[in-house]
């Protein structure tokens, strides 16, 4: 099968056209948890805010950050850890569930509701491992960027341009890593898929389709990126010149947009995967 740009575009268009709240709901739960966390973070002055979001920060060894307005400068980092946790742990069940719902029209067994729990069980471990490995690689990538690339870029570009270039390189690298593991949950929900098959098959597919997957990621994620860039590069400025709570608002907007983007990326990738299977059979 010749996967040209038309097929990729068709998959993306179909993913958007067939958007359904039922299919999106698992991503919505993750989003709900993220928004709840941000709401709690905005209320650290109350006992319940400090007992929840504050305790999460303390658990991560950031007790010193529980001060106003420093907490809001730390919040983008904290929110990204919470996001990574939510997409990795509850996401190991919720993402395969969303994929099962997306692929149900194409899979008769799933359409009739048979074996959903079984498929979820078989997908849990590979999805979790893929998320953990992906997170570990992302941390490694951040280290490479800060230790190796950032000084080079800073010497070439100064001020905001330099910071923006470093941020862009860091985000693009993170996207590549995410793209490599994107097909693991898709492969894991295939009937009778074993852990090894799901991991190797998923990563192989990720490598093979990396260009198209990156296209999906960039196409759907770009509306969220300005908000992420704003809070990650200008948190101190927002705190000082505007109001610190704006950081939480920007993070909430980012979470909403990236949740929708994640759903559309998985939906498009699942369709591309399905099209490949159909072609093979």
Give the residues lining the site for other proteins (CB under 8 A).
44-47, 49-51, 54-55, 58, 66-69, 71
Distance CA 7, CA 203 (A): 21
User: Quick one: tokens of 16?
Assistant: 């958007």
Minimum distance from CB of 89 to other proteins (Å)?
Answer: 18
Closest CA to 230 of 164, 143, 152: 164
The one-character DSSP state at 190 is S
Closest CB to other proteins among 46 and 204?
46
Minimum distance from CB of 46 to other proteins (Å)?
Answer: 6
Minimum distance from CB of 39 to other proteins (Å)?
Answer: 15
Distance CA 48, CA 56 (A): 12
Degrees to nearest 5, angle at CA 95 with 139 and 213:
65
The one-character DSSP state at 242 is S
Distance CA 279, CA 156 (A): 48
Minimum distance from CB of 237 to other proteins (Å)?
Answer: 15
């Amino acid at each position: 099968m010749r996967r040209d740009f038309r097929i990729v575009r068709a998959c993306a268009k179909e993913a958007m056209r067939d958007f359904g709240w039922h299919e999106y709901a698992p991503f919505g739960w993750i989003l709900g948890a993220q928004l709840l966390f941000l709401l709690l973070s905005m209320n650290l002055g109350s006992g319940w805010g400090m007992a929840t979001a504050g305790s999460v920060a303390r658990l991560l060894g950031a007790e010193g950050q529980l001060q106003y307005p420093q907490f809001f400068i730390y919040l983008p980092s904290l929110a990204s850890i919470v996001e990574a946790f939510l997409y990795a742990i509850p996401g190991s069940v919720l993402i395969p569930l969303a994929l099962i719902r997306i692929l149900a029209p194409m899979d008769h067994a799933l359409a009739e509701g048979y074996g959903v729990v079984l498929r979820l069980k078989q997908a849990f471990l590979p999805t979790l491992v893929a998320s953990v490995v992906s997170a570990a690689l992302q941390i490694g990538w951040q280290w490479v960027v800060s230790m190796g690339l950032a000084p080079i870029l800073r010497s070439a570009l100064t001020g905001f341009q330099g910071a923006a270039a470093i941020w862009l390189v860091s985000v693009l690298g993170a996207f590549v890593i995410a793209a490599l593991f994107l097909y693991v949950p898709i492969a894991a929900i295939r009937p009778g898929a074993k852990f090894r098959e799901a991991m190797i098959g998923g990563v192989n597919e990720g490598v093979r389709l990396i260009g198209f997957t990156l296209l999906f990621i960039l196409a759907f994620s770009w509306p969220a990126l300005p908000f992420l860039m704003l809070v990650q590069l200008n948190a101190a400025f927002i705190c000082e010149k505007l109001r610190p709570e704006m950081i939480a608002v920007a993070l909430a907007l980012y979470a909403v947009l990236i949740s929708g983007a994640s759903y559309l990326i998985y939906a498009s990738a699942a369709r591309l995967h399905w099209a490949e299977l159909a072609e093979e059979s």
